[in-house]
């Protein structure tokens, strides 16, 4: 990353890159598609017989995407379902290997998705503690920020839900708690996948305000959302992906206007 930063800063020493994607390709391989059997049965047969799959289907989810993200930016990712937005974030987070190309990042990117696993049998309180520790906060930091996390999530507004197991929460309550835990930490790079789609308008406003604070604290925020208003309210730059390709990268209003004109959304 240091070598890449030097190359970029030669042109503009006032901007510090946090993420660089260089001709990035991500390919999924789905095995056993030609066997004519259910995926679980096919997988079990391969294990028992120790034979390779008879069919492999490749899905080219991200195709030659290149961009540089800078400290202090909030970047929205838009595009139709299956366009590669979530896959791109997972690759930046180091959760998916590149088929070709490279991803360089400054620090450890943190990916927050509404499907991120918390432990359903544990209380919200214990999940706050474990989630904070898993993100690298010390026990002291977790305890200092515990009440603000609970207050931010709003899950205790109608009862003492924080003391109940996560399995008793609605999907929206769980998503709000996940966002609140992640937002309590200062991040070099924070990636949010549809988190602002949950909760009422009050929570969305708190989320948008917190994202702006994270930017001011010298972080970089990526936001995947189908809500163009959330993107407009939160982001100063947008990447538009379709079928795994980066169609447009530019100022928020300019890219969203082009997207809405093309798609009618």
pLDDT along the chain (265 residues), means of 10: 41 77 93 55 60 72 96 94 93 92 89 74 95 88 95 90 94 88 87 77 86 81 89 94 97 96 84
Evaluate whether residue 29 is within a structural domain. no
Tokens for 202, please give them: 């009050």
Side-chain half-sphere CA neighbours of 60 within 13 A: 10
**Range of 187's domain?**
72-263
Q: Tell me what pLDDT residue 35 has.
A: 47
Q: Tell me what pLDDT residue 212 has.
A: 83
Evaluate whether residue 221 is within a structural domain. yes
Evaluate whether residue 3 is within a structural domain. no
User: Domain total for the chain?
Assistant: 1
Q: Tell me what pLDDT residue 11 has.
A: 43
Angle 122-127-130 (CA atoms, 0-180°, nearest 5)?
120
Element (H, E) at 193: strand 189-193
Evaluate whether residue 162 is within a structural domain. yes
* Cβ-Cβ contacts under 8 Å for 97 (sequence gap 6 or more): 26
At 183, which CATH number? 3.40.50.300
Q: Tell me what pLDDT residue 97 has.
A: 93
Evaluate whether residue 136 is within a structural domain. yes
Evaluate whether residue 41 is within a structural domain. no
Q: Tell me what pLDDT residue 3 has.
A: 41
* Cβ-Cβ contacts under 8 Å for 101 (sequence gap 6 or more): 21, 22, 23, 24, 25, 64, 65, 66
Maximum CA extent, the chain? 59
Evaluate whether residue 14 is within a structural domain. no
Evaluate whether residue 229 is within a structural domain. yes
């Amino acid at each position: 990353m240091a070598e890449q930063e030097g190359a970029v800063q030669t042109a503009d020493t006032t901007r510090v890159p946090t993420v660089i994607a260089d001709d990035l390709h991500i390919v999924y391989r789905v095995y056993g598609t030609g066997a004519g059997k259910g995926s679980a049965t096919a997988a079990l047969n391969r294990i028992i017989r120790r034979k390779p799959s008879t069919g492999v289907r490749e899905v080219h989810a991200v195709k030659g995407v290149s961009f540089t993200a800078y400290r202090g930016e909030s970047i929205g990712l838009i595009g139709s379902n299956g366009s590669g937005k979530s896959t791109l974030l997972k690759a930046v987070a180091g959760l998916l290997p590149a088929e070709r190309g490279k991803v360089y990042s400054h620090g450890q990117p943190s990916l927050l998705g509404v499907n991120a696993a918390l432990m359903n049998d544990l209380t919200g309180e214990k999940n706050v503690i474990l989630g904070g520790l898993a993100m690298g906060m010390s026990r002291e930091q977790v305890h200092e920020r515990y009440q603000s996390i609970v207050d931010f999530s709003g899950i205790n507004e109608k009862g003492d839900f924080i003391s109940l197991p996560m399995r008793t929460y609605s999907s929206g309550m769980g998503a709000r708690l996940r966002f609140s835990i992640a937002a309590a930490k200062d991040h070099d790079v924070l990636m949010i996948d549809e988190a602002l789609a949950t909760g009422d308008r009050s929570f969305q406003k708190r989320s948008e305000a917190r994202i702006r604070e994270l930017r001011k604290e010298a972080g970089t925020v990526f936001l995947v959302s189908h809500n163009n208003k959330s993107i407009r309210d939160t982001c100063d730059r947008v990447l538009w992906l379709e079928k795994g390709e980066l169609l447009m990268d530019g100022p928020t209003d300019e890219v969203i206007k082009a997207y809405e004109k093309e798609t009618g959304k």
